[in-house]
């Protein structure tokens, strides 16, 4: 009830009301507010029947007189027939107004003339409630002193089920609390949520009141509808002094609420490290788990309270404890992007390689939850497995790409042990995912780091299929001149430099195949509906498939690690290049030479080197076991002859055009015959473009 705050405006309204109806009564009201007793007597004589007339808000002259507090005027009005039971539109009697405005003498007078001390307004508040709300100690004292006379109900609840004691405890009015307690109020009477006055005093940190309540036998372990005790309340708000008082009165330090949260959980949730220390010094269970298996350390880490985390670790909290989802505190700190806490945990021997129910390490979480570069950087310093797959076969790199976080992707790719072409459950590499996200800067970074531009997903789509499903790319981290050149060659506007077509051509220059067919037998070119553009792309592709040296032959030799295919085998053999002619990156390996024909002398040399491992190699080459047994019987104890006959049989039945050298190389690798492999590599240029 806030009418006392606008008393002046109420008076003006009242004036206006009476002016419209009775100029004489307007004068009456003004004299009451001015305290002019002589004029008031005259008004009463002239208008005796108007004394209980209300204004539009239901307020009578006695309401306003009760605020002013002149007992002589009130006595005059009461003797003239003013009603003590009249109520305004909010259900307030003159007694409510007097109690709220601390007019204790008026309260006494109104009660003497029959005012109901227990009457409730529309908010369910009695005059005593109203006095409590404003800390009007004289009114409260007067009402309590006359309990036996007027039968005041001191445990009466308002519409929110709050007693006067509850209100006094909630607002921290310790003098009122003391008065009420001495009047034998019900110290444990709870509101509709099960909260007692002690709960409210603890929530407000009113330690002196808490001590008084406990001395008057308040139930220190009373629980509300959520299972929370007063100790939960005090810990949640961080009132350490209040906590100490509660513990002195034997509050259960490990009591759990409906969600199995202890007071320690509550203090950790809000980051009250001093309260946490008080609880731990009082032997609170440091590794207790809530409904979800979270320890106090889990809660503090997820909430980002580093000081609280340090206190818990000082008291030897289990740094690798797991919740019901097998998340450790380190996982939750990564979820919350709290890099400082991550560093604290790792210094305290937190396991950086631990996995949760989804197979995620803390690095997976840091990369996948929006991507936090600071957290990832700290984790990488502690050597996590950057290539570990979770249950969905996703690596941290996959997750970082899905978050479109360029900085985190760059950090992961900077790791020496990174394997960037690992495929997830949809057979997508991180590079293919970056295309779906449309982040050109990320795409360019993958290409420059040597990602496989010819990787395909479960549907057989290569990178160009993915690119051409989009219209535009975004986030060009640095200007790529090649896109301007492509736009010029295709007669595109410069505004189209980030178009899917321009990006596709850039990838084609890096070795991506426009003619690759997916499982639906569609090439990337089939996605393009514009026939004119498709023709331009065909010309572009044919030009860029040519050897950059001779301009005549098709480029077939692929360089590693850059994976550019830019020369034919003839030009490479003549030039003996040391660096890729496109990117100038040193060549560590190459492939793509025309398969040379294996001759009998090659088979004989390999037979000598293969020795007793010929049987295993034969199985890999597709020779049936029965055929191998016949060879063994025909050439007993002669491993060289056995090897030669097996190889000869295989070579003669190989289909025309089949890549025999490449298949033989794989068979020798399977048989672990490394001398024979060295022969293929060193003595002849047995390299394959397949």
Q: Do 456 and 478 fall into the same domain? A: yes
Q: Do 450 and 539 fall into the same domain? A: yes
Give per-residue burial for 336-348: e unless 16+ CB within 10 Å, then b. bbbbebbbbbbeb
Residue 199 falls within a domain, yes or no?
Answer: no
pLDDT attached to residue 670: 78
Q: Please state the rounded mean pLDDT for residues 261-278.
A: 98
Total domain count, the chain: 3
Q: For residues 246 and 221, what is the distance between their CA atoms, to the nearest angstrom?
A: 9
Residue 19 falls within a domain, yes or no?
Answer: no
Q: Please state the rounded mean pLDDT for residues 348-361.
A: 98
Q: Which domain holds residue 524?
A: 445-543
Q: For residues 213 and 142, what is the distance between their CA atoms, to the nearest angstrom?
A: 22
Q: Please state the rounded mean pLDDT for residues 48-68.
A: 84
Token code pair at residue 262: 């202890």
Q: Does position 678 have pLDDT exceeding 60, yes or no?
A: yes
Output 145 or 566, whichever has higher pLDDT.
145
Residue 656 falls within a domain, yes or no?
Answer: yes
Residue 472 falls within a domain, yes or no?
Answer: yes
pLDDT digits (tens, 9 = 90+) for 196-211: 999 999 999 999 999 9
E strand or H helix that includes residue 308: helix 306-314
Q: Does position 171 have pLDDT exceeding 80, yes or no?
A: yes
Residue 311 falls within a domain, yes or no?
Answer: no
* pLDDT grade for 122, boundaries at 50, 70 and 90: very high
Q: For residues 133 and 171, what is the distance between their CA atoms, to the nearest angstrom?
A: 8
pLDDT attached to residue 607: 84
Token code pair at residue 431: 């590079």
Q: Do 667 and 580 fall into the same domain? A: no
Q: Do 539 and 457 fall into the same domain? A: yes
Q: For residues 51 and 61, what is the distance between their CA atoms, to the nearest angstrom?
A: 7
Q: Please tell me the least confidently modeled range out of 236-245, 250-259, 328-337, 629-638.
A: 629-638
Which CATH number characterizes residue 625's domain?
Answer: 1.10.533.10
Q: Which of 66-70, 83-87, 231-235, 535-539 has the highest mean pLDDT?
A: 231-235
Q: Do 530 and 611 fall into the same domain? A: no
Strand partners, 439: 474
Q: Do 569 and 509 fall into the same domain? A: no
Closest C-alpha among 308, 288, 311, 291 to residue 300 = 308
pLDDT attached to residue 31: 67
End-to-end CA distance of the chain: 87
pLDDT attached to residue 19: 42
pLDDT digits (tens, 9 = 90+) for 589-645: 776 654 455 677 778 888 888 888 888 888 888 888 888 888 888 888 888 888 888
Q: Does position 395 have pLDDT exceeding 90, yes or no?
A: yes
Q: Does position 102 have pLDDT exceeding 70, yes or no?
A: yes
Residue 88 falls within a domain, yes or no?
Answer: no
Output 493 or 232, whichever has higher pLDDT.
232
* pLDDT grade for 179, boundaries at 50, 70 and 90: very high
Exposed / middle / buried, residue 137 (Cβ in 10 Å: 0-12, 13-18, 19+)? middle
Q: For residues 423 and 435, what is the distance between their CA atoms, to the nearest angstrom?
A: 14
* pLDDT grade for 50, boundaries at 50, 70 and 90: confident
Residue 520 falls within a domain, yes or no?
Answer: yes
pLDDT attached to residue 2: 41
Cβ-proximal residues to 285 (8 Å cutoff; 6+ apart), any chain: 254, 262, 264
pLDDT attached to residue 243: 99
Q: Do 583 and 645 fall into the same domain? A: no
What is the percent of the chain where pLDDT is above 70? Answer: 91
Q: Do 584 and 567 fall into the same domain? A: yes
* pLDDT grade for 349, boundaries at 50, 70 and 90: very high
pLDDT attached to residue 683: 54
Instruction: Indicate the pairing of strand 557-560 with strand 589-591.
Output: antiparallel
Q: Please tell me the least confidently modeled range out of 226-235, 340-349, 639-648.
A: 639-648
Mean pLDDT of the chain: 87
Strand order in the sheet with 565-567: 565-567, 557-560, 589-591
pLDDT digits (tens, 9 = 90+) for 285-335: 999 999 999 999 999 999 999 999 999 999 999 999 999 999 999 999 999
pLDDT digits (tens, 9 = 90+) for 478-522: 888 888 888 888 888 878 889 999 999 999 888 888 888 999 999
Q: Does position 264 have pLDDT exceeding 90, yes or no?
A: yes
Q: Do 608 and 667 fall into the same domain? A: yes
What length does the chain have? Answer: 690
Q: Do 489 and 467 fall into the same domain? A: yes
Residue 67 to residues 91, 100, 127, 199, Cα–Cα distance (Å): 16, 9, 13, 34
Q: Do 632 and 605 fall into the same domain? A: yes
Q: Which of 10-14, 304-308, 366-370 has the highest mean pLDDT?
A: 304-308
Exposed / middle / buried, residue 250 (Cβ in 10 Å: 0-12, 13-18, 19+)? exposed
Q: Do 485 and 565 fall into the same domain? A: no
Which CATH number characterizes residue 522's domain?
Answer: 1.25.40
Residue 102 falls within a domain, yes or no?
Answer: no
Q: Please state the rounded mean pLDDT for residues 65-79.
A: 89
pLDDT digits (tens, 9 = 90+) for 443-453: 999 998 989 99
């Amino acid at each position: 009830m806030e009418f006392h705050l606008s008393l002046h405006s109420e008076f003006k309204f009242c004036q206006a009301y009476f002016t419209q109806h009775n100029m004489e009564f307007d004068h009456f009201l003004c004299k009451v507010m001015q305290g002019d007793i002589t004029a008031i007597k005259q008004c009463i004589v002239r208008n005796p029947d108007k004394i209980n007339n209300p204004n539009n808000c239901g307020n009578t002259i006695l309401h306003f007189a009760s605020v002013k507090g002149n007992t002589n005027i009130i006595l005059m009005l009461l003797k003239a027939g003013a009603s003590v039971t009249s109520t305004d539109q909010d259900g307030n009697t003159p007694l409510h107004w007097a109690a709220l405005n601390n007019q204790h003498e008026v309260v006494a007078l109104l009660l003497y003339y029959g005012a109901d001390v227990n009457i409730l307004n529309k908010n369910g508040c009695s005059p005593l409630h109203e006095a409590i709300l404003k800390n009007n100690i004289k009114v409260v004292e007067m009402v309590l002193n006359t309990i036996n006379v007027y039968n005041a109900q001191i445990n009466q609840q308002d519409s929110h089920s709050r007693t006067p004691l509850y209100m006094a405890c909630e607002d921290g009015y310790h003098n009122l609390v003391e008065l009420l307690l001495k009047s034998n109020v019900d110290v444990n009477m709870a509101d509709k949520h099960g909260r007692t006055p002690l709960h409210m005093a603890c929530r407000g940190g009113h330690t002196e009141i808490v001590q008084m309540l406990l001395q008057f036998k308040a139930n220190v372990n009373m629980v509300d509808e959520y299972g929370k005790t007063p100790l939960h309340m005090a810990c949640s708000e961080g009132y350490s002094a209040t906590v100490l008082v509660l513990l002195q009165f034997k509050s259960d330090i490990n009591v759990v609420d409906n969600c199995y949260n202890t007071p320690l959980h509550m203090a950790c949730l809000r980051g009250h490290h001093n309260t946490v220390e008080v609880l731990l010094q009082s032997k609170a269970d440091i590794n207790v788990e809530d409904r979800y298996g979270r320890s106090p350390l889990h809660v503090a880490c997820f909430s980002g309270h580093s000081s609280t985390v340090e206190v818990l670790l000082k008291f030897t909290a289990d740094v690798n404890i797991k919740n019901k989802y097998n998340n450790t505190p380190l996982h939750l700190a990564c979820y919350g992007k709290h890099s400082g806490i991550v560093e604290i945990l790792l210094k305290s021997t937190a396991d950086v390689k631990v996995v949760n129910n989804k197979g995620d390490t803390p690095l997976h979480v840091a990369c996948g939850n929006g991507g936090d570069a600071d957290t990832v950087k700290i984790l990488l310093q502690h050597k996590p497995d950057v290539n570990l797959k979770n249950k969905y076969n996703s690596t941290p790199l996959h997750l970082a790409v899905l978050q479109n976080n360029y900085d985190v992707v760059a950090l992961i790719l900077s790791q020496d042990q990174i394997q960037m072409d690992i495929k997830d459950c949809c057979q997508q590499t991180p590079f293919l995912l970056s295309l779906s996200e449309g982040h050109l800067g990320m795409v360019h970074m993958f290409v420059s780091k040597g990602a496989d531009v010819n990787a395909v997903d479960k549907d057989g789509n290569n990178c160009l299929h993915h690119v051409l499903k989009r219209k535009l790319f975004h986030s060009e981290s640095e200007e790529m001149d090649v896109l301007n050149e492509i736009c010029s060659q295709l007669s595109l506007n410069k505004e189209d430099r980030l178009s899917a077509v321009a990006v596709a051509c850039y990838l084609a220059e890096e070795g991506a195949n426009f003619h690759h067919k997916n499982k639906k037998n569609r090439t990337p070119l089939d996605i393009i509906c514009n026939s004119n553009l498709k023709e331009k792309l065909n010309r572009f592709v044919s030009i860029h498939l040519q050897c950059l040296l001779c301009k005549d032959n098709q480029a077939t030799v692929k360089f590693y690690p850059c994976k550019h295919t830019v020369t034919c085998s003839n030009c490479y053999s003549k030039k003996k290049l040391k660096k890729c002619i496109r990117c100038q990156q040193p060549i560590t390996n190459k492939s793509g030479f025309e398969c040379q024909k294996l001759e009998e002398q090659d088979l004989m040399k390999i037979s000598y080197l293969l020795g007793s491992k010929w049987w295993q190699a034969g199985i890999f080459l597709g020779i049936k076991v029965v055929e191998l047994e016949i060879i063994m019987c025909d050439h007993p104890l002669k491993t060289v002859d056995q090897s030669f006959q097996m190889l000869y049989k295989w070579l003669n039945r190989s289909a025309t055009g089949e890549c025999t050298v490449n298949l033989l190389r794989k068979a020798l690798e399977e048989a672990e015959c490394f001398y024979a492999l060295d022969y293929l590599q060193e003595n002849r240029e047995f390299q394959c473009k397949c």
